[in-house]
């Protein structure tokens, strides 16, 4: 039982490049989330998915797209990376109450 | 939108001293969760509070939910080096499966051995 897994762990992009962050959970949870964490800013919700086939914007959705591929997987895509997107990205899933977080992806955009 | 303030932002304590972090909301909350994040790690769920005035304990940790359900606190008695990390409060916006949480900015606790 791996919980929530994320790939890659680290990534460096140049401005304008694109990439997709992958997230998968094996707990049969309906809800999945993408957060970004910047120093001193706590965790900010980018997008979430309450169930397979649905996605909704969070607090900071601009510059990102998401896909809920199936119940297990929820991906986050940066179409044209910007330095302001340098951050640590966490994926999370939840059943009824608490959220379970993945180990995070540390992304640097130069 | 909902504003969540967490104070203090940083706290340095001697090992064995107590520690408290406070979470204040501008609106009445349906419930609130607390998470801990170790340095370099990911947030880990600690507890959820639902009822007005609720108090829950986990060993040396005591969690309280205010009577008006607008504030909450986490108190650690006799801190240990294993308590190092950042503590986040996370109020839920609705009762329906806690679909969206708003995380506070966190309180970073460091312990002086």
> What does the pLDDT look like over B1-29, one tens digit per residue?
567 889 999 999 999 999 999 999 988 88
Site from B89, B97, B104, B107 to mutate, A interface, most A CB atoms within 10 angstroms: B97
Query: Which has the closest alpha carbon to A66: A31, A37, A101?
Result: A31
Question: Nearest CA to CA, how far is B64 from chain A (Å)?
Answer: 17
A67 by Cβ neighbours in 10 Å (0-12 / 13-18 / 19+) ranks as middle
Asked if B105's CB is within 8 angstroms of A41's CB, the reply is yes
Is the torsion defined by CA of A20, A23, A28, A33 positive or negative? Answer: negative
Tell me the chain A residues in contact with residue B33 when contact means C-beta distances shorter than 8 Å: 97-99
| pLDDT averaged per 10 residues, chain A (length 110) | 94 98 96 91 91 92 96 97 97 91 97
């Amino acid at each position: 039982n791996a919980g929530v897994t994320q790939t890659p762990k680290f990534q460096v992009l140049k401005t304008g490049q694109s990439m997709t962050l992958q997230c998968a959970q094996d707990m049969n949870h309906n809800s999945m989330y993408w957060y970004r964490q910047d120093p001193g800013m706590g965790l900010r919700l980018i997008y979430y998915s309450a169930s397979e086939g649905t996605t909704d914007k969070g607090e900071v959705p601009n510059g990102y797209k998401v896909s809920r591929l199936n119940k297990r997987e929820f991906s986050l895509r940066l179409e044209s990376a910007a330095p302001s997107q340098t951050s640590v990205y966490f994926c999370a899933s939840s059943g009824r109450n608490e959220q379970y977080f993945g180990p995070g992806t540390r992304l640097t955009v130069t | 939108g909902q504003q969540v303030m967490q104070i203090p932002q940083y706290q340095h304590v001697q090992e064995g001293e107590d520690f408290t972090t406070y979470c204040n909301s501008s609106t009445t909350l349906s419930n609130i969760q607390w998470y801990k994040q170790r340095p370099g790690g990911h947030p880990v769920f600690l507890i959820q509070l639902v009822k007005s005035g609720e108090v829950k304990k986990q060993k040396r940790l005591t969690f309280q939910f205010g009577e008006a359900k607008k504030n909450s606190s986490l108190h650690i008695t006799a801190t240990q080096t294993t308590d190092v990390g950042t503590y986040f409060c996370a109020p839920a916006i609705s009762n329906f499966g806690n679909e969206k949480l708003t995380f506070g900015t966190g309180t970073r606790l460091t312990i002086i051995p």
